[in-house]
Structure 1
Amino acid sequence: MNISEYMQEVGRQAREASREIAKADTGLKNKALLATAEALDAAREQLALANEKDLENGRANGLESALLDRLALTPKVIDTMIEGLRQVATLPDPVGEITDMNYRPSGIQIGKMRVPLGVIGIIYESRPNVTVEAASLCLKSGNAVVLRGGSEAIHSNQAIAECLAEGLKAAGLPESTVQVIKTTDRAAVGELITMPDFVDVIVPRGGKGLIERISREASVPVIKHLDGICHVYIDAQADLEKAVNIAVNAKTHRYGTCNTMETLLISEQVAAEVLPTLAEAYGEKGVELRGCDKTRALLPNAVAATEEDWSTEYLAPILSIKVVAGIDEAITHINRYGSHHTDAIVTESYTLSRRFLAEVDSSSVMVNASTRFADGFEYGLGAEIGISTDKIHARGPVGLDGLTSQKYVVLGDGHIRQ
């Protein structure tokens, strides 16, 4: 296979399909989603056989148990994919929505219409269920999509691709609306991210190394986040019961997610009162604590935190703790060491909460809530394609609206400019 020629053809087909899916009505798109759900349900045996090939290869190649677990298409995972498709079909269609209509002094009306981005390239690792999630969101938002999954899931992804093609065909939409790359050659990624004539945006989903490479080498705009270095700041005016519950949940609800707290900041005015309680709760969960000098004075068993700890995403039961003078130091620390993902303050002060919301430079900023809420489903988006910490186009959880753009529309009745 000539990778360059193959990817150019994939790109051409995607561009052609994007024009058709952009003008498809909501009913057709929903029909394709529901037909895909039925195709997945009918293909359970084929999906299981394809997935077993990937699992066998993974075991033979020494893939870690956690990655094998993410790779497995269990009956429950298939059920979740089917339910996900049905849920996306119930979501409001953003395409064609016109907002902000107003009359100008000239008599014309100006507004904004929501439109698809065009062709979206998605590069991801391990989990084959992402193939369905990503395809469904792109389809509902009127975009064509090119999906490049991890080589470890090639057989599973191709089996899922057949179901997606069947769903699109049932709705009379181009099967090339969703294309899953058929080669495991990494050169395909290099081609995909450098085809601006055919691809409008790239969404990488995976580890920091993958995302850094895509961001560095792409000549197509990228929607991304690199790290999830999230903070909770417990203010001197916090309700300490709330503070303990939020700080424990933000760290221990799940360790391996990008919205998990990695650094806890505590006002020196309440540190002596709340830190022992928190340390006990974290100890019960097996969380290793790494603290500044003031923290270790209160918690002698804590490991001394290094400069590197403040900018580390652990994705593990490890937590950095820093005692700060107050909100000014907390905000300065977050804006210096954070990854612009999600940060929270616990306080009963309206004034300080407003300051925190205004001054913390992150895609999600919270008051008296766990950082674990930074999620498309929790935000009412129905689902998400990922989290963006960029400032242009989409920021925070990216749902259907984030996969569209807006264009100005002008309504007149023979108006001419004087």
Structure 2
Amino acid sequence: MSDIEREVHAVAERARDAAADLAPLSRAVKDAALLAIADALVKRADEITAANAEDVERARRDGTGPAMVDRLTLTPRRIEAIADAVREIVELPDPVGESVRGSVLPNGLDLRQIRVPLGVIGIIYEGRPNVTVDAAALCLKSGNAALLRGSSSAYASNTAIVAVLRDALEGTGVPVDAVQMVPGRTRESSTALMRARGLVDVLIPRGGGSLIQAVVRDSTVPVIETGEGLCHVYVDADADLDKAVAITTNAKAQRCSVCNSAETLLVHESVADAFLPRVLESLAESGVTVHGDPRVLEVAAAHRTGATVVEATEEDWATEYLSMDLAVRVVPTIDEALAHIRRYSTHHTEAIVTDSLKASRYFVARVDSAAVMVNASTRFTDGGAFGFGAEIGISTQKLHARGPMGLTEMTSTKYVVTGDGHLR
């Protein structure tokens, strides 16, 4: 075992001990600790921004793009917003101890299934240091210990934030080791975390597709896949075209850099001539570049929409742009739209725009994704928008949790059976 593996295993063992002490704590104790964290973040904002300035300067020297630098940057106002998000988590119900189901069996045994923490959760994430706080707060509220492995680009920021979090936990009743930063800045430390089976209960990767797939491929610890979103909007033959234009534009352009933004638009051929000029004009006003199939190129050439339209390639149908780009294809039937989605979807969110109840039911029944929207933007797939409060990510897999992962999804269950000397 290498030195870094020993270090990672050491923090994981401390996290495991902390998780055992954290699990039975009351909501009042956990909420008080979270409020202490929120106050400490604001009070020590200068320390955090000073450390963050080191990361930002390094990123600029390395030629990192403006968008990524912006996501990395922390300001006093942003830290205040992060602290407010922690206070919002305090207001959420505590799922631990909730009774999922129960009954008294014919033999008199009292059977109850209750929610319990997962235990030790490792989070591997990119770029954004606000995730350090979000993940730690969600883990604590749900009774889990957090092992945080951010990217090397935010190393100074994350180190400072974790120091603030741990100091804030002193004297609250919550074990300090319930929040720890995974040691090391190299790939080796991430790999050691991924291989810490038996010490870490679950890993949650947050970031781009390459990060998520690397964790899924290399980890021996169970992984909950999150985030990668190649989302589709299908405009049906019976769509209200006004709604279709508005939904498509919102799904793509309201915030294009997130996993629930639309990346592909599929249009039924019977409405293509009426719909495409309108949607191309709307997308052009938002600055979207369209990657279109031959029918889309033909319509664009025949109408002065102002849209930037380029020929779509096979690669476009499989691309999560996270930019002001949208692949657009005309399909002959709803079944062809469904076949396209089955082939290219990452199982995040798909939407249908239609006034046909039959078509919407047909689409919903056949789409295999975490969320399906009917006459609504894909942008609604979000813990806050769903009324769950904060989330740790959007799960695109099928085991345990699927869709926005709020506090409930960060728990498992156990059965408590109470008898009176019962024997079998």
Same fold (TM over 0.5): yes
> Is this contact kept in 2: 1:201–1:222, CA < 8 A?
yes
Moved more, 211-220 or 288-297: 288-297
Map of 2:89 onto structure 1: 88
DSSP-derived class of the 1:298 partner: helix
TM-score by length of 1: 0.96
Equivalents in 1 of 2:292, 2:48: separation in Å? 48
Equivalents in 2 of 1:296, 1:414: separation in Å? 77
Q: CA deviation at 1:410?
A: 2.5
Which amino acid in the other structure matches residue 209 of structure 2?
K
Which amino acid in the other structure matches residue 312 of structure 2?
A
Which amino acid in the other structure matches residue 180 of structure 2?
Q
DSSP-derived class of the 2:124 partner: strand
Map of 1:379 onto structure 2: 386
Moved more, 239-248 or 401-410: 401-410
Map of 1:244 onto structure 2: 245
Map of 2:152 onto structure 1: 151
Q: CA deviation at 1:36?
A: 0.6
Which amino acid in the other structure matches residue 403 of structure 1?
M
> Is this contact kept in 2: 1:104–1:110, CA < 8 A?
yes
Map of 1:388 onto structure 2: 395
Map of 1:105 onto structure 2: 106
Deviations 1:353-386 (A, max 9, x none): 1221111000111101000111111111111111
Which amino acid in the other structure matches residue 275 of structure 2?
V
The reply to whether residue 231 of structure 1 matches residue 238 of structure 2 is no
Q: CA deviation at 1:168?
A: 1.7
Equivalents in 2 of 1:278, 1:154: separation in Å? 43
How many correspondences in the alignment?
417
The reply to whether residue 38 of structure 1 matches residue 39 of structure 2 is yes
> Is this contact kept in 2: 1:346–1:369, CA < 8 A?
yes
Map of 1:135 onto structure 2: 136
Equivalents in 1 of 2:421, 2:361: separation in Å? 48
Map of 1:285 onto structure 2: 286
DSSP-derived class of the 1:247 partner: helix
Map of 2:174 onto structure 1: 173
Equivalents in 1 of 2:107, 2:269: separation in Å? 60
> Is this contact kept in 1: 2:204–2:226, CA < 8 A?
no
DSSP-derived class of the 1:78 partner: helix
Gaps of 5+ in 1: none
1:369 aligned to 373, 376, 388, which one?
376
Map of 2:316 onto structure 1: 309
Map of 2:330 onto structure 1: 323
> Is this contact kept in 1: 2:288–2:325, CA < 8 A?
yes
Q: CA deviation at 1:250?
A: 0.5
Q: CA deviation at 1:220?
A: 0.4
RMSD (CA atoms): 1.6
Q: CA deviation at 1:183?
A: 2.6
Map of 1:335 onto structure 2: 342
Map of 1:208 onto structure 2: 209
Q: CA deviation at 1:107?
A: 3.3
Equivalents in 2 of 1:220, 1:182: separation in Å? 18
> Is this contact kept in 2: 1:373–1:379, CA < 8 A?
yes
> Is this contact kept in 2: 1:262–1:319, CA < 8 A?
yes
The reply to whether residue 29 of structure 1 matches residue 36 of structure 2 is no
Deviations 1:321-353 (A, max 9, x none): 111122211111111111101000111122221
Equivalents in 2 of 1:293, 1:282: separation in Å? 18
Equivalents in 2 of 1:198, 1:56: separation in Å? 36
Q: CA deviation at 1:308?
A: 1.8
Map of 1:357 onto structure 2: 364
Q: CA deviation at 1:146?
A: 0.4
Equivalents in 2 of 1:342, 1:70: separation in Å? 24
Deviations 1:293-343 (A, max 9, x none): 222232237322222211111111111111112221111111111110100
DSSP-derived class of the 2:191 partner: helix
> Is this contact kept in 2: 1:212–1:226, CA < 8 A?
no
DSSP-derived class of the 2:170 partner: helix
Equivalents in 1 of 2:411, 2:33: separation in Å? 19
Q: CA deviation at 1:7?
A: 0.9
DSSP-derived class of the 2:266 partner: strand
Moved more, 317-326 or 136-145: 317-326
1:346 aligned to 343, 353, 357, which one?
353
Identity %: 50
Which amino acid in the other structure matches residue 324 of structure 2?
P
Deviations 1:80-106 (A, max 9, x none): 111011000110000000122233333
Which amino acid in the other structure matches residue 99 of structure 2?
I
> Is this contact kept in 1: 2:202–2:224, CA < 8 A?
yes
